Chain A
Amino acid sequence: MIGLKDDETRLLPLMLAPAVSYIALLIGFPFVLSIAYSMTNISVGTTELKFVGLDNFISVVGSQTFWVALKNTCIITLVSQVFVVGLGNVLAGLLMADFTGKWWVRLLILLPWVAPISLGSIGWLWIFDSIYSVINWTARAIGLLGPFDWPIWLGQPDLAMASIIIVNVWRLLPLATVIILAGLSSIPQDIHDAAHVDGAGFWRHHFEITMPLVLPITLIAVLFGIVFTFTDMIVVFVLTRGGPYDTTQVLASWAFFTGIQGGDLAEGAAISLFLFPVLVAVAILFLGVARRTEVT
Chain B
Amino acid sequence: MTGGLARTARRVGRFGLLAGFVGFLAFPFYWMLITTFKTTQDLHNTEYNPYLFHDPPTLEHLRTLFEDTIFLQWLWNTAFVGVLVVIITIVLAVPAGYSLARTTGRWGQTLGVGIFLTYLVPPTILFIPLARVIAWLGLQDSLWSLVLVYPSISVPFCTWLLMGFFKAVPRDLEEAAMLDGLSRLAAFVRVVVPVSIAGILTCVIFTFTLVFQEFVYGVTFITASTNYTVSVGVPTFLVRGDVYFWGSMMAACLIASLPIAVIYNLFVDRFVAGFTAGAVK
Contacts and interface: CB of A to CB of B under 8 A. Distances in A.
Given A114-B261, A118-B235, A220 B279 contact: yes
Interface in A192-234: 216-217, 219-220, 224, 227, 231-234
Interface footprint category on B: 35 or more
Interface in B168-209: 178, 183-185, 209
Contacts of B17: 90, 94
Interface in A65-119: 87, 90-91, 94-95, 97, 103, 105-112, 114-119
Given A22-B152, A111-B257, A30 B25 contact: no
A152 interface: no
Contact of B272 (A91, A182, A232): A182
Contacts of A108: 22, 25-26, 29
A115 B258 CA distance: 7
Main secondary structure on B side of the interface with A: helix
Nearest to A34: B129
A117 B25 CA distance: 13
Scoring B29, B215, B249 by chain A CB atoms within 10 A of each residue's CB, the highest score goes to: B215
Interface in B236-252: 239, 244, 246, 249-250, 252
Nearest to B158: A19
Interface in B51-75: 51
Contacts of B126: 27, 30-31, 34
A272 interface: yes
Contacts of A132: 43-44, 46, 50
Interface in A248-289: 251-252, 255-256, 259-260, 265, 268-269, 272-273, 275-276, 279, 282-283, 286-287, 289
B120 A293 contact: no
B35 A126 contact: yes
Main secondary structure on A side of the interface with B: helix
B128 A11 contact: no
Contacts of A103: 265
Interface string A160-189: 000000000010011100110111001000
Interface string A17-45: 01110110011011101100100001000
Nearest to A2: B183
B192 to A, nearest CB: 11
Nearest to B122: A231
B103 A12 contact: yes
B264 interface: yes
A91 B26 CA distance: 14
A231 B151 contact: no
A23 B152 contact: yes
B25 A34 contact: no
A268 B260 CA distance: 33
B61 to A, nearest CB: 13
Given A30-B129, A265-B132, A126 B100 contact: no
Given A7-B183, A126-B246, A19 B124 contact: no
Nearest to A13: B99
B18 A260 contact: no
15 contacts: A8-B184, A11-B185, A20-B96, A30-B130, A37-B129, A109-B22, A110-B261, A120-B28, A123-B29, A182-B280, A224-B275, A255-B128, A256-B219, A260-B219, A265-B131
